[in-house]
Structure 1
Amino acid sequence: MIDTLIFDFGDVFINLDKEGAMQNALNLFKLDTFEEDMTNTNILYEIGKISTEEFIAFYSSKFPHLTKQQLIDAWNFILRDFPKYRLEFLQKLAKEQRYKLILLSNTNDMHIDFIKANVSFYEDFKNCFDQFYLSQEIHLRKPNRDIFDFVLDNNNLKPEQCFFVDDTKDNTDTAKSLGINVWNIDETKDDVINLFNQNHLRS
């Protein structure tokens, strides 16, 4: 029996524009593809191995013609709207107390700061969860197995009793390999509020 729901954040609750953000950054940097040192720096930032100041300093040294604000805006370009009906869906789940609710997100301080400033109900959202794990705070990231082991071990969970919702197939593939039930949500066609419909989790 499923007793724990584990949710991703981006493109599950808050909408993202991944392709638009990538193209916006490439246009700003006047590049065709992201260079390896940029990708590695992004990952280091996402797992809290470097600070926001170090992250911005890296890009400022690489692109000295850009201002700090231009770099911050480019980084946050990916973040779009957070439909309130998804919060209401989550609040209903939390109120029912049928499941332990866990957030597991690859994210970072700049994104969270932007969300706090632009999503009036962020604290209400956060308060719905029994555990709220951000990659930058726990120094682990999806799709690596160790982040799932961390969640299972720290909450004394059995994989077969967990259900994980994420828009990235690599993430759900890793979770599935550990015996966790998964829904690789397609944000272009479906919505987390349909969790209990059709072939997803049975209520």
Structure 2
Amino acid sequence: MKADLSNIKNIIFDMGRVLLNLDFDASIKAFQKLGSKGEVLDHKNAYADPVFYNFEVGEITPAEFRAGIRRLLNNEELTDKQIDDAWYAMLLDIPGYRVKKVQELKKNYNIYLFSNTNQIHIDRLLIEFKAAHGIDFPDLFKAVYYSHEIHDRKPEISSFEKVIVLSGVKPEETLFVDDLEKNVLAAQKAGLKTLWLKQNMEMAELF
């Protein structure tokens, strides 16, 4: 199955599990090793505490996020690096074949990125991507929109409306690609055309 690109001029990619391989459990396990007790950071209730949401929409600083993690884990002795390493553990790699596919698409389409993310993740990702691929990650796109910078996140319809305004795209000429159905449904309500990247589907094979 190939993506329907008829009348499409712009493509907005999600990052996690579309471009970037993720393992949410890796951070859960890393936090548990640092002192998590009870159900605060177990598999059922992972990331339910408001500190995670607030960090993702840029309402708190990295320092405030780390303080929140120390509170959650009941461990005031944790260093910034221990917290950052555990939090970053979920981010794996962006394979070269996906990078090449985005570069190919960029020749014929305006390519954008819209990701629910946070400053700690992005700061390190940019460094590791440059080391792995020899190019700057934002250079793959016409523009990048991170939730912590636009102070809004998927699946809020307002977040898509904000990206549409900031990018200047026409929704009917724009394809949004995401791995979560709730994000795809919200994007449709904002007028975007969509592609739901279901489990076991590979972005690079659909274009």
| Range class of TM-score, shorter chain | 0.7 to 0.9
Tell me, in whole angstroms, the C-alpha distance in 2 between the residues paired with 1:44 and 1:15. Answer: 23
Q: Select which of 6, 21, 24 maps to 2:27.
A: 21
Tell me, in whole angstroms, the C-alpha distance in 1 between the residues paired with 2:94 and 2:164. Answer: 28
Answering whether residue 164 of structure 2 is matched by residue 152 of structure 1, we say yes
* Contact 2:88-2:121 within 8 A present in 1 as well: yes
1:71 aligned partner, one-letter code: I
* Contact 1:185-1:191 within 8 A present in 2 as well: yes
Tell me, in whole angstroms, the C-alpha distance in 1 between the residues paired with 2:27 and 2:103. Answer: 30
Which residues of 2 match residues 9-158 of structure 1 at below 5 A? 9-26=15-32, 28=34, 29-34=36-41, 39-62=49-72, 63=74, 64-94=76-106, 96=107, 98-119=108-129, 120=131, 121=133, 123-158=135-170
Deviation string for 1:26-66 (max 9, x for gaps)? 45412324479962111111111111011112222442253
Which residues of 2 match residues 155-194 of structure 1 at below 5 A? 155-186=167-198, 188-194=199-205
Secondary structure of 1:183's aligned partner:
strand
Secondary structure of 1:9's aligned partner:
coil
Q: 1:181 to 1:26 in 2, by over 3 A?
A: farther
TM-score of the aligned structures, taking structure 2 as reference length = 0.83
Tell me, in whole angstroms, the C-alpha distance in 2 between the residues paired with 1:171 and 1:37. Answer: 18
2:179 aligned partner, one-letter code: D
* Gap runs ≥5 in structure 2: 1-6
- Cα displacement (A) at 1:128: 2.0
Tell me, in whole angstroms, the C-alpha distance in 2 between the residues paired with 1:185 and 1:19. Answer: 20
* Contact 1:87-1:125 within 8 A present in 2 as well: no
TM-score of the aligned structures, taking structure 1 as reference length = 0.85
Q: Could you tell me which residue of structure 1 aligns to residue 3 of structure 2?
A: none
Structure 1 vs Structure 2: percent identity of aligned residues?
33
* Contact 2:176-2:184 within 8 A present in 1 as well: yes
2:20 aligned partner, one-letter code: I
Secondary structure of 1:6's aligned partner:
strand
Tell me, in whole angstroms, the C-alpha distance in 1 between the residues paired with 2:56 and 2:12. Answer: 19
2:142 aligned partner, one-letter code: D
* Gap runs ≥5 in structure 1: 197-203
- Cα displacement (A) at 1:106: 0.7
